[in-house]
Amino acid sequence: SSLTQVVHSAGRRFIVSPVPESRLRES
Amino acid sequence: AEDTGLRVELAEEDDCSNSSLALRLWVEDPKKLKGKHKDNEAIEFSFNLETDTPEEVAYEMVKSGFFHESDSKAVAKSIRDRVTLIKKTREKKPPGC
């Protein structure tokens, strides 16, 4: 989705996406 | 374990079939971090229990600009704590979960 960004570093892939609202409320 | 302000959890169910895990990390308490970081964004990554180290993943996250150098220890600790818990859980379950 447009909200997900993929970053590569030293051969490792990081997928960045918004924290689900439900998880934010938990904290 | 001391709270680092970061949360690490399994991004997918651990099927114990191999040493690779999908983990997700995000900032739960921004006040506990020293440097700049991206709020409200979860970072999903793979972690190989046999070949990867939390410090190495934390270093790559700092290099990728997700966290400031001053927080790399907290990032590594959060990953280490979760990985340790997952390993203990795997030990308790029958082989192949």
Tens place of pLDDT per residue across chain A (27 aa): 456 888 888 788 999 999 877 666 554
Distances in Å between the Cα of B90 and the Cα atoms of A15, B4, B73, B97 are 25, 24, 25, 7
A15 to chain B, closest Cα gap in Å: 5
- Residue A24 has a pLDDT of 60
- The answer, yes or no, to whether ipTM is higher than 0.90 is no
Confirm or reject contact between A15 and chain B (CB < 8 A).
yes
Quick: pLDDT tens for B45-94. 999 999 999 999 999 999 999 999 999 999 999 999 999 999 999 888 77
Give the residue among B43, B45, B51, B42 at the shortest CA–CA distance from B19: B51
Residues of chain B found within 8 Å of residue A15, distances taken between Cβ atoms: 43-45
Helix, strand, or coil (residue B72): helix
